[in-house]
Structure 1
Amino acid sequence: MSPRRVVLLVALGAIALTLSYPPFPLPILSFFAITPAVLLIRQAMTDANPTGAAFRWGWWYGLASNALVLYWLVVALWHFTPFSALGYLATIAIIGLLTGVIFWFVVRMRLSAPTVPLWVSLPVAWTALEWLIGHLGDVRFPWLGLGTSLADAPVLVQWADIAGARGVTLWLAWCNVAIVEAAVDVRRASYVVRRLAPVMVTVLMALGYGVWRMNTLPIRDVGVVGMVQPDEKFSEKWNPAHGDSAMNALFSLSRSLMARAPRPQLLVWPEAAVPGFFVDHPQWDAAISAFVRENRIPLLTGGLNAELAGPTARVYDIFNAAFFYDSTGDRTRYPIYAKHYLVPVTERVPFVPVRVFRAIPGLRNWSG
């Protein structure tokens, strides 16, 4: 296959896979999102070096598609540190490498076991790739599977309560292969219809189950939750001189929310809403307690927590935490949640074990 055609298929694959995910309301694309990958694998089979071509094209396909799918990594994390660009590049390079391995495996399977059809080997391999990406240490993304691309078509994805997101991925990958094989069939139109019929049957089955499930699933209101999200710039939020203003904004927005109907039964402030430590600002803790007690409403809020590491030295363990205040304003009766999985690049250095990082002089208090 000519290099121009490879570039075209890689580009189309990257665009199609990106547009199949929210926020783009194009669920129909999920059934065509990886058809360029299917075509690349089919073409690799005819190359003079099929496994080598499959790996090369798979790497470029994985690199380009994840470069677009994960664009938000740099956009969202740049204000934390410009090093997020390095984390982004490392992430798409690693996932691209794994995609190349999957392409190589599928072609190798087709060569060594030609009786195993592509509509079996590729969906299984693609689902395995998604599972691997979801468990890949510091660059794991368990929510970016092909199955989750149908999140904006809830009626089609209801059967995930039976097969899970990976089951939906397996189905969609199979649909993509079946559509390609039907489209490239050079025989009569009746053969194309015959090959597409199983796809249509499974889509109708998914729709039927979805309609039944959504109409019969009992749904009831359990309460009203009020969520507060101040519009604070990152540079303002963590400016010590701006801390009291940030807290005032939280209280002001919460009061206006409490004045509306229906009245919330629980208030939720976002992650790290409190812009400092209570050990340094006990007045904030007291103000939150007073506000909650006055309005008789429980509050769940994110914040920073510092706990003494030892009984003598004033050395603190620092956590990204969550605090719960009951309707009496008391939070001492409830455990403080400490975030277990820290975000690579922004909350810790990726790929480096914490104990190794903390052994570096001057970096003892870093999360690693």
Structure 2
Amino acid sequence: MHKILHADCDCFFAALEMRDNPSLKDKPVAVGGAADKRGVIATCNYPARAFGVRSAMPTAQALKLCPDLILCPPRMLVYKEAAQAIREIFFQLTDRVEVVSIDEAYLDVTHVDIFQGSATRMAQWLKQEVVAQTGVTLSIGVSVNKFLAKIASDWQKPDGLFVIRPEDINSFMPDLPVGRIPGVGKVTEQKLQAQGLETCGQLQVLSLQKLVERYGKLGVMLHQRCRGEDYREVVTERVRKSVSVEHTFASNKTVLFDIEQELEQQVSKLQQRFLPYQDRVVKSVFLKLRFADFTTTTVETGLSDAQSRQLHRRLDMTCFLPLLHEAVRRGQCNIRLLGVGLRFAEQEQTGEQLTLF
């Protein structure tokens, strides 16, 4: 039986701003770009969330919801230093750490002997050490796999500690809303709800075959997750699946020639970002546009082995111009964001081994 922790920093960037400026405590605070520069909110504290402010929201919209919002410009060096300090604390407990993002990680403490092997006491120690050394509170979930640990870490935020024990899984899962399953987005959630599937308990009634018939590969994941099953290991070295760049324009681009010039700049940046990954096989190239109404479209095309080898020798505009023209046709030529990227082929077979029989 595994013992997995999911540690999630509470409103990480905003927490560090409040740490370094105590006068911000209990006031609505967000970190993000300026409204007049088409900025978006990176994160916000809980007083700001009470007004409806959320991550990835345009700053202008956030200020309409919360006129008293205190907007702090990002200080990435500060955030990275704090994140590194927190990871060092994780590694004091175990070397089985999977860093998911700058503010969250999974820890496999199955074979850790301190605290008499109690994962709950380990989580308590982590919370105490991190807040003492960095001023950041953690919410930690404890369970037998990554899925349940992540669900648990979100259960009593902020500054929470929640444990889903093996003997509690069968009683905990039936009432869990399907929208709480990582990988089930708003569209899929609405589709499930339209078919009368609002909870994991209702999903459990359907057979694996029926779920696969309805939802394809997603059906296999739903069949497992609704029962609290997750066979993924904690991966201590993450393999990058893609490399990309994107840019939000200061003012919308409405002329195709101007957008093509911007594309050339983004491709030049992508060339530099691609340099450390020359040993990777590129399986596809993609382009993303966000229109003035905030709808987003992505165009992607797969590459043959020969095309992938050619791309390593020559990554330029010709790879992306057809994608740009296709994307522009999908909406009005009124563009606020442009992004380009490459997806890599898997280096080795990893993850769950799934079977229908």
TM-score per shorter chain, which class?
A: under 0.3
Relative contact order: is structure 1 or structure 2 higher (C-alpha 8 Å, sep ≥ 6)? 2
- More strand as a share of residues: 2
* Rg larger for: 1
TM-score, length of structure 1 as denominator length: 0.27
TM-score, length of structure 2 as denominator length: 0.28
